[in-house]
Amino acid sequence: MILYVYENYKGNRTDEPNTERLIALALNQYADETGLILPPGENSKICRTQKGKPYIEGIPVHISVSHSDHLWVCLAGDTESGVDIQNKSHSNFEAISKRFFQPDEQQAVLDGGVQAFIAIWCRKEAFIKYFGMTIGDTIDWLNVAPEGVPASQVRYNGNTISFTEIEVHPEFLCVVATGTKEEIWIRKIQVD
């Protein structure tokens, strides 16, 4: 799997590269690095599931996308995955954890503060993106800190989902969710 990083993201409302353009750039880099043969021209259509998970029509590659502030990432590989990135500073983390976290997760935040909150939130988001869900789909049952500590893996519907923290920037935490432990390479997005 390859994690593509773009450090000057300004959102989808600017003349800068938007998410669709960045996915296309990441996909082209992925094809160059892996030997994946892409259809000629713009035949690689970026689609979204009903709940917003991106996928590439007609190409055997799985992608997951996340952004926080100016940092944007896209995870690409031949197996299902989910990725989330969050700025390590967060001012409203206690209120969010009370609303969206299970009791064990809330205790982890009380014990570990904002760092525990970010580690749990990234795991939840990466898990959700892995399965193409929303936070509302999982609010009543997803616990990624079952013993008060952010988990390295969780079980769901007979699947073991592993979490890997990836260092992409000192101010951000990036977490990848995969069905098996994968080697993950980091690449910068090359923008023309």
CA torsion, ordered 20, 162, 118, 56, to nearest 10 deg: 10
**pLDDT at 10 (0 to 100):** 87
**pLDDT at 149 (0 to 100):** 93
Helix axes 93-100, 103-131, angle to 10 degrees: 80
Query: Which domains, and CATH codes, for the chain?
Result: 2-188 (3.90.470.20)
Distance CA 132, CA 134 (A): 7
**pLDDT at 41 (0 to 100):** 61
pLDDT digits (tens, 9 = 90+) for 51-73: 988 888 888 899 999 999 999 99
**pLDDT at 44 (0 to 100):** 66
**pTM of this prediction?**
0.92
**pLDDT at 190 (0 to 100):** 77
**Which residue is listed with tokens 């990135």?**
85
DSSP structure class, residue 101: -
Q: Which residues, other chains included, contact 140 with Cβ-Cβ below 8 Å and sequence gap of 6+? A: none
**pLDDT at 183 (0 to 100):** 92
Q: Which residues, other chains included, contact 131 with Cβ-Cβ below 8 Å and sequence gap of 6+? A: 82, 156
**pLDDT at 55 (0 to 100):** 87
pLDDT digits (tens, 9 = 90+) for 15-45: 778 888 899 999 999 999 999 888 776 556 7
**pLDDT at 14 (0 to 100):** 67
**pLDDT at 58 (0 to 100):** 82
Distance CA 125, CA 24 (A): 23
Contact assessment for residue 150 and residue 119, using Cβ atoms and an 8 Å cutoff: yes
**pLDDT at 71 (0 to 100):** 96
Distance CA 181, CA 192 (A): 33
**61 three-class SS:** coil
- Mark the ranges of the chain whose per-residue pLDDT is less than 70: 14, 41-44
**Which residue is listed with tokens 């500073």?**
89
Contact assessment for residue 81 and residue 177, using Cβ atoms and an 8 Å cutoff: yes
